[in-house]
């Protein structure tokens, strides 16, 4: 059974034990999640969780399928960016915009934005779905499930119920 706890981000403390197997931890694995509120507000929440050598390796390991999807993300991102620039420039040419330098600059910025969006979507969302089971297990031992920016509370979901209780008591 998993257990979710709410803790203040700055007061979050973990015991020096691996979050997957509870053996002595020697590494810190960084969890990261981006929460978006409306169009302009987004928060990147980072939490470092202790792990033993073995589970740190498992969490960091990227199998062939996951890496391939990651590379595919870069390629598709570049194509999407280029197509966006071409469409934009074609549109400007057809409407008779004269300032070529400004158009090229704005087109470049726009193309880069499209690239980042497509690439980030594929590499942060799609690629991890292709991770090997051991990686998924280690990465999902603790999950950031919610964040309240106003009071900086974060909700963490633990696969290990007793570890959740230890962390909750320590805060
Ligand atoms: Zn471990």
The CA 51 to ligand 1 mean position distance, Å, reads 5
- Domain span holding position 19: 3-61+134-170
Same domain, 87 and 35: no
Give yes or no: residues 84 and 95 share one domain: yes
116 and 87 co-located in one domain: yes
- 56 with 138, same domain: the answer is yes
Q: How far is the CA of 106 from the centre of ligand 1 (A)?
A: 49
Q: How many helices (H) and strands (E) does the chain have?
A: 5, 5
- The pLDDT value recorded for residue 73 is 96
Q: What is the pLDDT of residues 107-121, one digit of tens each?
A: 999 999 999 999 999
Of residues 145 and 95, the one with the higher pLDDT is 145
Please check whether residues 51 and 84 belong to one and the same domain: no
Asked if residue 17 and residue 57 are part of one domain, the reply reads yes
Q: Could you give the 3-state DSSP secondary structure of residue 64?
A: helix
- Per-residue pLDDT, averaged over 72-98, amounts to 90
Can you tell me the distance from the alpha carbon of 171 to that of 168, in angstroms, rounded to the nearest whole number? 5
**Ligand 1 midpoint to CA 165 (Å):** 18
Q: What pLDDT does residue 99 have?
A: 80
Ligand 1 geometric centre to CA of 138 (Å): 8
**Can you give the pLDDT at residue 131?**
94
Query: Among 97, 112, 127, which residue terminates a domain?
Result: 127
* 47 and 70 together in one domain: no
**Which tokens go with 88?**
């934009």
- Per-residue pLDDT band for 161 (boundaries 50, 70, 90) equals very high
One domain, residues 79 and 116: yes
pTM comes to 0.78
Asked if 157 and 118 sit in the same domain, the reply is no
Question: How many whole angstroms from 29 Cα to the centroid of ligand 1?
Answer: 11
Total number of domains constituting the chain = 2
- Degrees to nearest 5, angle at CA 62 with 61 and 67: 165
Average confidence (pLDDT) over 75-99? 89
Ligand 1 centroid – CA 20 distance (Å): 5
- Alpha carbon of 137 to ligand 1 centroid (Å): 11
54 and 38 in one domain?
Answer: yes
16 and 55 part of one domain: yes
Residues 71, 170: Cα–Cα separation, whole Å: 41
Mean pLDDT of 90-105: 82
Same domain, 81 and 98: yes
Distance 53 CA to ligand 1 centre (A): 7
């Amino acid at each position: 059974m998993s257990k979710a706890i709410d803790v203040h981000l700055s007061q979050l403390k973990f015991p020096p034990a691996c979050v997957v197997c509870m053996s002595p931890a020697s590494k810190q694995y960084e969890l990261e999640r981006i929460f978006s509120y409306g169009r302009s507000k987004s928060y990147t929440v980072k939490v470092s969780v202790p792990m033993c050598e073995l589970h740190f390796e498992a969490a960091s390991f990227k199998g062939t399928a996951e890496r391939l999807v990651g590379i595919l993300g870069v390629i598709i991102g570049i194509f999407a960016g280029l197509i966006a620039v071409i469409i934009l420039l074609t549109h400007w040419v057809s409407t008779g915009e004269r300032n070529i330098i400004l158009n090229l600059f704005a087109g470049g910025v726009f193309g880069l934005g499209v690239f980042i969006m497509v690439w980030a979507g594929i590499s942060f969302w799609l690629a991890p779905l292709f991770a090997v089971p051991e990686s998924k297990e280690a990465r999902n031992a603790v999950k950031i499930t919610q964040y309240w920016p106003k009071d900086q509370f974060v909700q963490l979901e633990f696969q290990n119920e007793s570890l959740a209780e230890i962390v909750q008591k320590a805060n």
